[in-house]
Amino acid sequence: MLKRRRTHSFKRNVIYSSSTRRRIMLRNLHKKVIWRRRMFAMQQMAELSTATPVG
């Protein structure tokens, strides 16, 4: 059991150690963060528009 866990973590580290893989992971993370921020901003705008009476 211990051996299997060790090899798994080793393989994972090897897979993510290549520069392209790291770059891809960073880009995916960045896209996720940007998307989350945009959703939050849209939510804030929606709350602002409903809070202020129009006209």
Domains of the chain by residue range: 19-43
DSSP-derived 3-state class of residue 55: coil
For residue range 12-51, list pLDDT tens digits in order: 777 777 888 888 888 999 999 999 999 999 999 988 887 6
pLDDT of 19 reads 84
Q: In whole angstroms, give the CA distance from residue 1 to residue 47.
A: 52
Provide the pLDDT confidence category of residue 6 given band limits of 50, 70 and 90: confident
Tokens 């770059």 belong to which residue? 23
Predicted confidence (pLDDT) at residue 3 exceeds the cutoff of 70? no
Q: How many Å apart are CA 7 and CA 1, to the nearest integer? A: 10
Q: What is the DSSP letter of 18?
A: S
CA dist 16 and 35 (Å) reads 24
